[in-house]
Structure 1
Amino acid sequence: MTPTPRPYRSYVYAYPHKTAYRALPERPELAALWAGEPKDALSLYAHIPFCEVRCGFCNLFTRIGAPDELTTRYLDALDRQAAAVREALGDAAPVRFATAAFGGGTPTFLTAAELERLCDIAEKRMGVDLRAVPLSVETSPATATADRLAVLAERGATRLSIGVQSFVEAEARAAVRPQHRADVEAALGRIRDTGVPVLNIDLIYGIDGQTERSWRVSLDAALAWRPEELYLYPLYVRPLTGLGRLQDPAAADREWDERRLRLYRYGRDHLLAHGYEQVSMRMFRRTDAGPAGPDDYACQTDGMIGLGCGARSYTSALHYSFDYAVDMREIRSIIDAYTETEDFSRAEVGRAVDGDEARRRHLLQSLLQAEGMPVAEYEERFGSSPFADFGPELARFEEYGWLAADAPAGLLRLSPEGLAHSDGLGPELFSPAVRAAMAAYEAR
């Protein structure tokens, strides 16, 4: 039997990965990129790259603090970008947004007045009816203040997602996320007071020193709020103690993989036993929770408009964004350059998506959902069979026990173990070209 890939190779939340993007020499005009694209079910994502503290596990595009009225200058640039993008979309065909999200960073790092302005940009510049579509906003315990939350609730937020990570204060410190449980509980109370229909709580497993017992403390503390959604994230930064004392790096990796898988299975089974259904490896939804609002957006096929220097935009042929970095100094430089940009009419950094990459993306993003992928849906879109296009990969997945043998006819679906190994399965579907580009990326 072929050796099974490591279960925690890469968190695959988009494909191709941003480290496969490169500067676009031709700098194509957005108007040309969007000219022939369907625009009747777009998604809007606004990226706010500011946080009050940078967590030890974080590799997101964000910076700590915003001196010298940087948030004002950032929103000024976001306004200019939104105006340019909306002009590029044109009016020859109907332009409609089906969903919206504000992420980061921490969008609620902005003041209440700045959040009002962000909503105005989405509505008045882009034409999004925030009260008529699902609107998801990320927050943190320290920034989920009553005045900020009131703005978001009044402007149409249907989902508030709070990154708690752990209710155990020692674990929060180990993850370089210092916080007091009382403050976390108070923030959750304020979120519930808004009446926003969907509360999501993010938790992390694999923190140094975490055990099944302490993991259950966090799970039960979250369940006490009866959140409509819970996300369980594996830690992707090697602990600095414990495993670091092992002499053999390979042994350390194996031990950490096994510990994370053990905690994942414990968390999964605990949530399933408490009235939640599994949507993906990370996402769990309360079975009696109603929908957050109409949502006819499909990430596999519909376009995305990203505003902000860390946001991506997707057309059928090109994924594009701005420059990318993880190092704090580089991030600051990119944010400063963004705030000084006047002309947002062209794509600067990205990667072309040809037919093969579109097939990979569709299969990957469908298969990593617990409901699976209707084979007929794939065949209708591409005129070919996933078994013909990805025979060797699917054969390996079957050999590993990752495909559900009891799936209904015509449905390609992962088994429970396949879902558990989503972060090992996803990279198996990356094309050789994307793998090469990611390997050649110089981290900065």
Structure 2
Amino acid sequence: MTSSHTVRPYQSYVYAYPHKTAYRPLTGHPVGRPALRELWAGERKDALSLYLHIPFCEVRCGFCNLFTRIGAPDELTTRYLDALDRQATAVRDALGDDEPVRFAAAAFGGGTPTFLTAPELERLCDIAEKRMGADLRSVPLSVETSPSTATADRLAVLADRGTTRISIGVQSFVDAEARAAVRPQRRAEVEAALERIRDARIPVLNIDLIYGIDGQTEDSWRSSLDAALAWQPEELYLYPLYVRPLTGLGRVGAEAAADAAWDEERLRLYRGGRDHLLAHGYEQVSMRMFRRGDAPRQGPDDYACQTDGMIGLGCGARSYTSRLHYSFDYAVEMREVRAIIDGYTATEDFSRAEVGRYVDGDEARRRHLLQSLLQAEGLQLAEYHERFGAAPGDDFPSELGLFEARGWLDGSAVASGLLRLSPEGLAHSDALGPELFSPAVRAAMAAYELK
């Protein structure tokens, strides 16, 4: 038996598969890049998800490797919204009118969507509604924000336009820890923002917290958790700190990323945080996500999109059809990010897919297994068999055998028709997820040139 403690627990946060670094320019199509109209022909369009990406932030946190830039000079937000409007028009045209097009969920992410002013947020909602046809007031709408941009006028727009969930990145209520994560904020500002969010009466509040910050202790971690719990958030996400290449922390902390003692410290903090939330009436939805026991459910949990039908608008957004995942180019380094955003705002023709990866039968199986298994409730064996005509154990005997040997599977779940992780398996989600990557995806990710 292989002990789970010999496995590096924090290898990669897997929230979508295949990973974006496995995408490549789509130049192999007979007539160049594939037309969106062709890609969406024959796809189900009665329960699509809509994601609008805003790649701007006031500051860039030291741990952040998201596609975003600091600030937006020279009316860049206006030009960006203009391009978003053009893209939405082209995408809605590509979806056609042969059958009803309906959106079942929507989200604004980033970056920081509330970097936009209140009038710009009105325009963003108009693009979703008037161009795409999404009825924001009748579907779950999730929006990300930050303490400094969660202003009363912006929140009023979001509440009026139907926002059902607001997610705020706090990371730590301890000022010294926020500084250590290169996140300049003061607790007083965070608390004031949370008060404004509660005053806006948006049904679901999510607070993001990070463990593993330099100088953080079990006591300080508990104090951050208690400070968050004081607001009775419907959801809490607990993220392990990662030190990634080309980020602020990545330039100074490469040694820490390879430190086994730091792995153990993060595992200890994770378990303490998990147990603390469970004791306070929260249920665990995934390694990261916890929901208050009496909170309303808002659409799919924690990126659990085994099904396809994702429409992403904006230069950092992904779109998923049943055969192809596609997006625009990706970068982390600030100069490269700025160049991609500038290219996006200058684009007139959004009728074709730029970069992506085709998802064949094997990859679709991996995606379904991976994204179901990383949810605490597990994978429905009958659902998998109905979709793929086989059992997960038939398709992935070596991977699942390895997970079982490590104690990562809950053997008692099979009787209920489930393939489910044990508590130890959930704790090692960031090691388990990458084990399910195909050799082809691994090779593409390894060959990807960071920029």
TM-score by length of 2: 0.95
Instruction: Supply the distance in 1 between the matched residues of 2:120 and 2:145 (Cα, whole angstroms).
Output: 14
In the TM superposition, 1:118-137 aligns within 5 A as 118-137=124-143
Displacement of 1:244 in angstroms is 6.1
Q: Is it true that 1:212 corresponds to 2:212 in the alignment?
A: no
| Structure 2: gaps of 5 or more residues | none
Deviations 1:106-146 (A, max 9, x none): 00000000000000000000000000000000000000000
Whichever residue aligns with residue 400 of structure 2, its letter is L
Runs of 4+ aligned structure 1 residues displaced above 4 Å come to 238-241, 243-246
Change (3 A) 1:7 1:84: same
2:304–2:375 CA contact under 8 A, matched in 1: no
Change (3 A) 1:298 1:40: farther
2:243–2:253 CA contact under 8 A, matched in 1: no
Displacement of 1:291 in angstroms is 2.8
Q: Is it true that 1:382 corresponds to 2:384 in the alignment?
A: no
Whichever residue aligns with residue 37 of structure 2, its letter is A
- 1:320 equivalent among 293, 317, 326: 326
In the TM superposition, 1:38-77 aligns within 5 A as 38-77=44-83
2:304–2:371 CA contact under 8 A, matched in 1: no
Displacement of 1:190 in angstroms is 0.2
Q: Is it true that 1:17 corresponds to 2:19 in the alignment?
A: yes
Whichever residue aligns with residue 425 of structure 2, its letter is G
Instruction: Supply the distance in 2 between the matched residues of 1:277 and 1:423 (Cα, whole angstroms).
Output: 20
2:105–2:299 CA contact under 8 A, matched in 1: no
Q: Is it true that 1:434 corresponds to 2:441 in the alignment?
A: yes
Instruction: Supply the distance in 1 between the matched residues of 2:102 and 2:388 (Cα, whole angstroms).
Output: 25
- 1:423 equivalent among 426, 430, 441: 430
Instruction: Supply the distance in 2 between the matched residues of 1:215 and 1:174 (Cα, whole angstroms).
Output: 14
2:243–2:254 CA contact under 8 A, matched in 1: no
Change (3 A) 1:210 1:65: same
Q: Is it true that 1:349 corresponds to 2:351 in the alignment?
A: no
2:181–2:249 CA contact under 8 A, matched in 1: no
Instruction: Supply the distance in 2 between the matched residues of 1:130 and 1:355 (Cα, whole angstroms).
Output: 34
Number of aligned residue pairs: give it.
439
Partner-residue secondary structure (3-state), 1:265? helix
Change (3 A) 1:264 1:343: same
Displacement of 1:384 in angstroms is 1.1
| Structure 1: gaps of 5 or more residues | none
Change (3 A) 1:298 1:255: closer
Instruction: Supply the distance in 2 between the matched residues of 1:225 and 1:54 (Cα, whole angstroms).
Output: 26
1:216–1:267 CA contact under 8 A, matched in 2: yes
Displacement of 1:372 in angstroms is 0.4
In the TM superposition, 1:11-410 aligns within 5 A as 11-25=13-27, 26-237=32-243, 253-292=259-298, 299-409=305-415, 410=417
2:35–2:352 CA contact under 8 A, matched in 1: yes
Q: CA RMSD in A?
A: 1.8
Instruction: Supply the distance in 1 between the matched residues of 2:449 and 2:425 (Cα, whole angstroms).
Output: 31
Change (3 A) 1:6 1:245: closer
Instruction: Supply the distance in 1 between the matched residues of 2:253 and 2:237 (Cα, whole angstroms).
Output: 27
Change (3 A) 1:293 1:263: closer
1:158–1:293 CA contact under 8 A, matched in 2: no
Whichever residue aligns with residue 444 of structure 2, its letter is A
Change (3 A) 1:190 1:129: same
1:81–1:307 CA contact under 8 A, matched in 2: yes
Change (3 A) 1:245 1:439: closer
Among all aligned residue pairs of Structure 1 and Structure 2, give the percentage whose two residues are the same amino acid.
83
1:11–1:423 CA contact under 8 A, matched in 2: yes
Deviations 1:327-349 (A, max 9, x none): 00000000000000000000010
Partner residue of 1:414?
Answer: 421
Displacement of 1:290 in angstroms is 2.0
Deviations 1:258-290 (A, max 9, x none): 000000000000000001000000000000112
Deviations 1:188-218 (A, max 9, x none): 0000001110000000000001010000110
Instruction: Supply the distance in 2 between the matched residues of 1:291 and 1:323 (Cα, whole angstroms).
Output: 33
Instruction: Supply the distance in 2 between the matched residues of 1:272 and 1:123 (Cα, whole angstroms).
Output: 38
